[in-house]
Chains A and B, each alone.
Chain A
Amino acid sequence: MLAGTRDLDALARSAGKLASFDAPALTLPGVELLQVTYELGGGAPESFFPPALHPTLPVLAVLALWRADAGPLGRFALAQLRLSCRSGVRPRQLLVASFADGELARAALNERFGFGARRARIRLDRFYDRVEGGVDVDGASALDVTARGPLPLAPGDVQFFSSMHAAETAKGLRLLQVDTEVHVTRAERAEPRLIHFAADAFGIPGATLAYPVAAFVALCDVTLPRLRFACRPDVPASAGTERIS
């Protein structure tokens, strides 16, 4: 079984900073979501992950753009890139980059969850026959993507998986597991079309979005619960997982 080989110093440089393990849960009603999935190329699958995790073969690159209009953090958008993997035998996604476009929200997400979200302008626009999404960082495009021809799915036809991301914590560098709860009220599948992707901006220099898999758009209620598990990045998850009391 392949295990991650990513350099931990490089992982630490891209890590967020968690203020406290005691942060409360965050609930966001009526969130619009565009999720685009590609197979990842441009490097050995294991090179994208720390030793705690195992890559899926192929690795999926999951780009998620969330737009929240209501909730305690006001109106904001969040863009994330996650990579499919396993923690032991459990399906997980390693969160490698986060961006947010509202200062209050960005600060709160970083403080509560240690996402290390960077400032960006995020677009999520619905048209009759497509949904367009984009991320601009420092005035330059990092992502430009379209999901064409949305067709209805049952809400239960879309799947979500817990994510893990690197953050500096009081215990040192850890992978923090976020068991995001998503209650989908509407879902549509669409055909992904990538116009531009800047791998550097998303923290995976040299990687490519090599092969389109699927896209979906959804309307959902999202809860980011309190953190329950952290994991040392340098040893297999079976040995390095810690329960957060």
Chain B
Amino acid sequence: MRFGIFYELSVPRPFAPGVERAVYENALAQVRLADELGFDTVWAVEHHFLEEYSHCSAPELFLTACAMQTKQIRVGHGAVVCVPAMNHPVRIAERAAVLDILSGGRLELGTARSSTWSELGGFEIDPDTTKQTWDETIRALPRMWTQERFSWQGTSFSVPERAILPKPVQQPHPPLWVTVTSPGTELDAAERGIGCLGVAAASFKEQERRTAEYRRRIANCTPIGALNSQVATLNFLYCHEDANEAARTGLGMLGLFGQENAQLLFTREAYPTRAYGSLANLAPAPVRREGSPGDASGVPEGMAIGDPERIVRAIKEWESIGVDGVNFLLNALEVIPQEKVLASLRLFAREVMPRFRKQGGP
């Protein structure tokens, strides 16, 4: 089981001078600690215009800072929007290669197509086209990284023969992922041989079904590049020795995140289209084992909120249904004081992480 930390970089109102900087500095301090504690990956989203919810519009810069301040932890674009109006595919390949070099081969590259009208409308992007541009981009990326000279004649972009420089450190290239919010995207991942980066949790049963179908399909896929067959899911982390204190603080974070998420204007709400089949909620939904009465603390089952023993049980459940990694949001709108976030990370690393590590290795 691999453990990651995941950043939206949400910023509380009022947006007074210094507030955004404090959020970034707190996040960097958490990343440095996570690196020391043995967490595997730090992920950062790419979002634009999403007031409060995410002020993380240039994740490659944040992740570069993370890489420069750490030694072991991998840095994950979670995810770069593969729509040329936001990111030209050549620029994605170039920036990713530079980040892979600077981090010493620690890059994971998540891909996405954006799901809110706030973002797509802000860049005047036709929602009907984003799945196609994502598909075209991710098929081009491995070639840009591995071919000495690259050319492309496509629908959403074309490039005459050019050398895409520099090349990444990892061979043949950094692992590729796709963020999964809507049901069915896991099949897109399987068919292309790339990893499933869950950013909205399904029920245990649904996640089990999706993971099994992903495993079945990826076994016979034609990979677009180097095969990445990992499944990761998103969760919230607040670990405290006192279960009641953990529930109180963790539920505060969970509720606030839910409120923030509800304010987002999803594409389907604004624009009639068959390209976005659901409202594509970005928030992890409460999960519950079918038939279970639920947790008396009020914390949804499967959430890593509680004392260490409760969190171990939750992660064991995810492990049992075939999930390879869990990525944690640590805060929302800075509602949890920084010292408590750091203490939660330390306690998790001391009491929970060793239960999922093999002797003598990660």
Q: Give B360 Cβ to nearest chain A Cβ, in Å.
A: 47
Query: Would you call A58 an interface residue if the criterion is a C-beta within 8 Å of the partner chain's C-beta atoms?
Result: yes
Contacts of B291 in A (CB 8 A): none
A121 to B251, CA, bound (A): 52
Which of B260, B265, B268: most chain A Cβ within 10 A?
Answer: B265
Check B272 against A88 for contact (C-beta < 8 Å).
Answer: no
Query: Would you call B335 an interface residue if the criterion is a C-beta within 8 Å of the partner chain's C-beta atoms?
Result: no
Contacts of B297 in A (CB 8 A): none
Residue of B nearest to A187 (CB): B272
Residue of B nearest to A158 (CB): B272
Interface members, chain A 153-211 (any B CB < 8 Å): 153-154, 157-159, 161, 187, 189, 211
Query: Would you call A10 an interface residue if the criterion is a C-beta within 8 Å of the partner chain's C-beta atoms?
Result: no
Residue of A nearest to B256 (CB): A1
Known: A1-B259, A56-B265. A153 touches B272 (CB 8 A): yes
B18-59 interface code vs A (CB 8 A; 1 in, 0 out): 000000000000000000000000000000011110000000
Query: Would you call B166 an interface residue if the criterion is a C-beta within 8 Å of the partner chain's C-beta atoms?
Result: no
Contacts of B262 in A (CB 8 A): 86, 88-91
Check A159 against B269 for contact (C-beta < 8 Å).
Answer: yes
Report the contact-size class of chain B (Cβ under 8 Å from the partner).
20 to 34
A84-95 interface code vs B (CB 8 A; 1 in, 0 out): 101011110000
A86 to B270, CA, bound (A): 14
Contacts of A216 in B (CB 8 A): 272
Contacts of A86 in B (CB 8 A): 262-263
A39 to B13, CA, bound (A): 23
A124 to B121, CA, bound (A): 28
B86-121 interface code vs A (CB 8 A; 1 in, 0 out): 000000000000000000000000000000011001
Query: Would you call B273 an interface residue if the criterion is a C-beta within 8 Å of the partner chain's C-beta atoms?
Result: yes
Contacts of A84 in B (CB 8 A): 265, 269-270
A214 to B127, CA, bound (A): 11
Contacts of A90 in B (CB 8 A): 262
Q: From the candidates A1, A60, A89, A189, name the one contacting B270 in the complex (CB within 8 A).
A: A60
Q: Give B333 Cβ to nearest chain A Cβ, in Å.
A: 9
A146-157 interface code vs B (CB 8 A; 1 in, 0 out): 000000011001
Contacts of A88 in B (CB 8 A): 259, 262
Q: Give A46 Cβ to nearest chain B Cβ, in Å.
A: 11
Contacts of B152 in A (CB 8 A): none
Contacts of A58 in B (CB 8 A): 118, 121, 265
Contacts of B252 in A (CB 8 A): none
Check A157 against B258 for contact (C-beta < 8 Å).
Answer: no
Contacts of B50 in A (CB 8 A): 57
Query: Would you call B274 an interface residue if the criterion is a C-beta within 8 Å of the partner chain's C-beta atoms?
Result: yes
Check A39 against B52 for contact (C-beta < 8 Å).
Answer: no
Known: A57-B265, A157-B272. A213 touches B121 (CB 8 A): yes
A154 to B50, CA, bound (A): 30
A1 to B264, CA, bound (A): 11
Known: A89-B258, A153-B274, A154-B274. A1 touches B263 (CB 8 A): yes
Interface members, chain A 60-79 (any B CB < 8 Å): 60
A158 to B276, CA, bound (A): 11
Interface members, chain B 136-181 (any A CB < 8 Å): none
Contacts of A213 in B (CB 8 A): 117, 121, 270-271
Query: Would you call A241 an interface residue if the criterion is a C-beta within 8 Å of the partner chain's C-beta atoms?
Result: no
Contacts of A110 in B (CB 8 A): none
Contacts of A89 in B (CB 8 A): 258-259, 261-262
A190 to B258, CA, bound (A): 33
Check A57 against B121 for contact (C-beta < 8 Å).
Answer: no
Residue of A nearest to B274 (CB): A157
Known: A39-B121, A213-B121. A157 touches B273 (CB 8 A): yes
Contacts of A187 in B (CB 8 A): 272
Q: From the candidates A2, A158, A211, name the one contacting B121 in the complex (CB within 8 A).
A: A211
A153 to B270, CA, bound (A): 15
Q: Give B266 Cβ to nearest chain A Cβ, in Å.
A: 9
Contacts of B260 in A (CB 8 A): 1
Q: Give A239 Cβ to nearest chain B Cβ, in Å.
A: 14
Query: Would you call A232 an interface residue if the criterion is a C-beta within 8 Å of the partner chain's C-beta atoms?
Result: no
Check A159 against B272 for contact (C-beta < 8 Å).
Answer: yes
Contacts of A153 in B (CB 8 A): 272-274
Q: Give B47 Cβ to nearest chain A Cβ, in Å.
A: 12
Query: Would you call A112 an interface residue if the criterion is a C-beta within 8 Å of the partner chain's C-beta atoms?
Result: no
Residue of B nearest to A37 (CB): B270
Residue of B nearest to A59 (CB): B265
Check B273 against A1 for contact (C-beta < 8 Å).
Answer: no
A39 to B272, CA, bound (A): 15
A2 to B259, CA, bound (A): 11
Residue of A nearest to B265 (CB): A56
Contacts of A57 in B (CB 8 A): 49-51, 118, 263, 265
Contacts of B272 in A (CB 8 A): 153, 157-159, 187, 189, 214, 216
Binding site for B on A (CB under 8 A): 1-2, 37, 39, 54, 56-58, 60, 84, 86, 88-91, 153-154, 157-159, 161, 187, 189, 211, 213-214, 216
Closest 7 A-B residue pairs measured CB to CB?
A89-B262, A56-B265, A158-B272, A214-B271, A216-B272, A157-B274, A157-B272
Starting from the known contacts A159-B269, A159-B272, 17 additional A-B residue pairs (CB-CB under 8 Å) come to: A1-B260, A2-B13, A2-B263, A57-B49, A57-B51, A57-B118, A57-B265, A58-B121, A60-B270, A84-B270, A86-B262, A161-B269, A189-B272, A189-B273, A213-B121, A213-B270, A213-B271
10 A-B pairs with C-beta separation under 8 A: A2-B13, A37-B271, A39-B121, A56-B269, A57-B118, A58-B118, A90-B262, A161-B269, A214-B270, A214-B272
